[in-house]
A and B are shown apart, each in its own frame.
Chain A
């Protein structure tokens, strides 16, 4: 056992690091979620272009698609190195991580020529439009409908929790085209121009106070049949390809961990509290468990093996862990722990900020409950949940 790179990996890491140092500043401590600002989008576009020109955008994509033709291991190394720098990557994570791979898999040659290069060069941003108010964990129950009219489809309905919809140029849109078959079978996927008439983006005012996600309303929006991805009714299969990439695209949790709360407890003089020390030990063990499990996954990749299911535990551990740490830090501060004013609150209010963000993290990208179902069904092979709508048409159930 060791934690060293192979010579080839070390060479790639050095090359990546050199490229990054040439273009970016190292990460500044305490910098939390920086998304959503105008200058952030401009910086992200510019960084994406530099990466693409340097041959570091989309490491695993084939060269003919503008990728590097590299290995998954190189992708992991790039992610680790890029993570050390203040790299504005957020706006492209969904487009390049989820949407464009779907366009590559199901789109026509014309689609690939039109969209892939522009996204890769940071010129166009994409969003993903699947979730709806009545279709979260059960996303296949969505209601936004598309009706064929000549060579077009006419879209009406509402999407929700769409990251980056307000600055996106295009979206991947999953809609119902046939209500008279079971829910999974009546869906179809489209490419939608987000800037067109009838598309209205409204920010969601989150419980945390921020506005990072959106609702998107579609009113008589026309999409040419040529912008359909896959056959009508095949949308769920297309969506699964998109979602398969989601677990890879959703990164670790930004926020305070055992080290930050230990540092705070030492500065506050509460480190000697016995109950706190026991919890601190548990947090360290969980954080190490998460980090070291990624090392095991990485080892499998490095050996050219397919990683086992162990990586599925990551988000369950992380989200709860973050919430618990922030809660303890606030309680440790007693009444003063309520203060969110960054100038007044201890540790620039990182615990308060993340405390308010943590409930969302336990829901986004698969709730704790859905993730546990996935472990139970796909890893442990336990029976699927009862699905009372399984053999009924969508119309019968709604």
Chain B
């Protein structure tokens, strides 16, 4: 039984945490929050690029560090703890994984090295309106190498240089890669409830694009990309949820009401114990997702779904009850609780809401037990 990270992976985690605790504090996160013109924290991003984290799971032949998916999971958890205001997930979890999964040799050898060295920032453009993405509901069209339509919201869409977009074409739904620096693309920032990760509306008007994977295979590829991203995001969520418990715990010991620390009251103790239980359930499910992802296991669909459902619940619960534990202070702009509440919601809906993933999970269990 070896159901934990290795010593090397734990060393990477410790180093990442040290760096982020020094260079990516919530004061750094707030630089993006309080300035509408900032899409991300450029200094943090620059240093992350220099450390090679974006290429952690990109093979050396494509310019990466060639470490592996477990290492990327470790990094994801630390970025989640720090609420890192950078387009890391969009580029490394979605765009790079999409390329690794479905890219042609030429696409991989052209684009992956640029992701690793930070000269390309990727994002994924799927949503067009409220509700779950379903075949048939996609209005963005792709024909003769050109894409036309509107994607909203696209996480990190205003800082990204390239997008993977879900489109409709003659074969059904397909994925395409679009260079966002061209005349046929216009972008506008859109206000969301999570401003520390920027979001955009991207309009395509006959923009040049190329297929990623086979035409007509878009929904299936998107599912597979989301399975991979879901595990990585689960670690990000886990990092955020752990921080919420730490914050609530510290405050409960320090805040005095009715003559003693509020953490001595069972209503608070049991709330925090519930947080702890949910976080541990999320951690164990995330580890299983990491195992499935790193070993290309057939169990990945249900492992990813369980990891995502558990982590979304844990981060949601921890972020809202962290505010509650802080009382009135928790509802002020100056106290950091709301930063986690915002991030928890972004990560819970970014690749499909928990209800969508619960359905995916049950479908996978049904198929497996036929």
Contact = CB atoms under 8 A, between A and B. Distances in A.
A262 interface: yes
Contacts of B264: 382-386
Interface of A: 1-5, 9, 258-259, 262-263, 266, 271, 277-278, 280-282, 284-286, 288-293, 295-296, 298-300, 302-303, 310, 313, 316-317, 369, 371-373, 375-377, 379-386
Given A380-B276, A381-B253, A2 B2 contact: yes
Given A1-B3, A4-B2, A296-B283, 12 more contacts: A2-B295, A281-B305, A281-B309, A281-B362, A295-B284, A300-B4, A316-B277, A372-B273, A373-B270, A380-B272, A383-B263, A385-B264
A303 B3 CA distance: 11
B51 interface: no
B192 to A, nearest CB: 26
B281 interface: yes
Interface in B262-310: 263-264, 266, 268-270, 272-274, 276-277, 280-285, 287-288, 290-291, 294-295, 302, 305-306, 309-310
A9 B302 CA distance: 29
9 contacts: A1-B290, A1-B291, A2-B291, A262-B365, A289-B285, A299-B1, A317-B277, A369-B270, A375-B276
Contact of A289 (B245, B272, B280): B280
Interface string B176-191: 0000000000000000
B18 interface: no
A384 B269 CA distance: 10
A385 B266 contact: yes
Interface in B1-45: 1-5
B3 A383 contact: no
Interface stretch (B92-100, B101-109, B134-142, B353-361): B353-361
B2 A285 contact: no
A302 B2 CA distance: 8
B46 interface: no
A372 B270 contact: yes
A320 to B, nearest CB: 10
B56 interface: no
A376 B294 contact: no
Contact of B3 (A285, A295, A377): A295
Contact of B1 (A263, A302, A371, A377): A302
A120 B274 CA distance: 39
Contact of B273 (A281, A285, A290, A375): A375
A293 B282 CA distance: 10
B359 A277 contact: yes
A296 B281 contact: no
A363 to B, nearest CB: 16
Given A313-B276, A372-B274, A375-B273, A381 B3 contact: no
A380 B247 CA distance: 11
A260 B211 CA distance: 44
B285 A292 contact: yes
A198 to B, nearest CB: 40
Contacts of A263: 369
The 6 closest A-B pairs by CB, nearest first: A289-B281, A281-B358, A376-B269, A292-B284, A383-B264, A372-B273
Contacts of A286: 281
Contacts of B365: 258, 262, 280, 284
Interface residues of B, number: 50
A382 B269 contact: yes
Contacts of A383: 253, 260-261, 263-264
A317 B279 CA distance: 12
B366 interface: yes
Contacts of A1: 2-5, 70, 287, 290-291, 294-295
Contacts of A2: 2, 291, 295
Contact of A285 (B285, B287, B369): B285
A1 B297 CA distance: 12
B4 A296 contact: yes
Nearest to B363: A277
B2 A282 contact: no
B270 A376 contact: yes
Contacts of B290: 1
B270 A382 contact: no
B252 interface: yes
A371 B285 CA distance: 22
A382 B254 CA distance: 10
Nearest to B355: A278
Nearest to B9: A1
| Residue among A284, A310, A316, A377 with the highest chain B CB neighbour number at 10 A | A284
B350 interface: no
B281 A317 contact: yes
Contacts of B357: 281
Given A2-B2, A277-B362, A369-B270, A292 B276 contact: no
Nearest to B248: A380
Contacts of B355: 278
Could you say which of A266, A292, A303, A310 has the most chain B C-beta atoms within 10 Å of its C-beta?
A292
Contacts of B70: 1
A302 to B, nearest CB: 5
Interface in B200-214: none
A296 B3 contact: yes
Question: Of B261, B285, B355, which is in contact with the most chain A CB atoms at under 10 Å from its CB?
Answer: B285
A278 B358 contact: yes
Nearest to A286: B281
A317 B369 CA distance: 24
Given A316-B277, A384-B264, A385-B264, A262 B252 contact: no
A293 B273 contact: no
B362 A280 contact: yes
Nearest to B310: A285
A259 B310 contact: no
Contact of B288 (A278, A292, A302, A313): A292
B324 interface: no
A395 to B, nearest CB: 27
Interface in B152-203: none
B249 interface: yes
B276 A379 contact: yes
Contacts of A9: 1
A375 B1 contact: no
Contacts of B253: 381-383
A202 B110 CA distance: 80
A385 B276 CA distance: 19
Contacts of A371: 273
A284 B357 CA distance: 13
Contacts of B366: 262, 266, 271
A371 B277 CA distance: 11
Contacts of A313: 276-277, 280-281
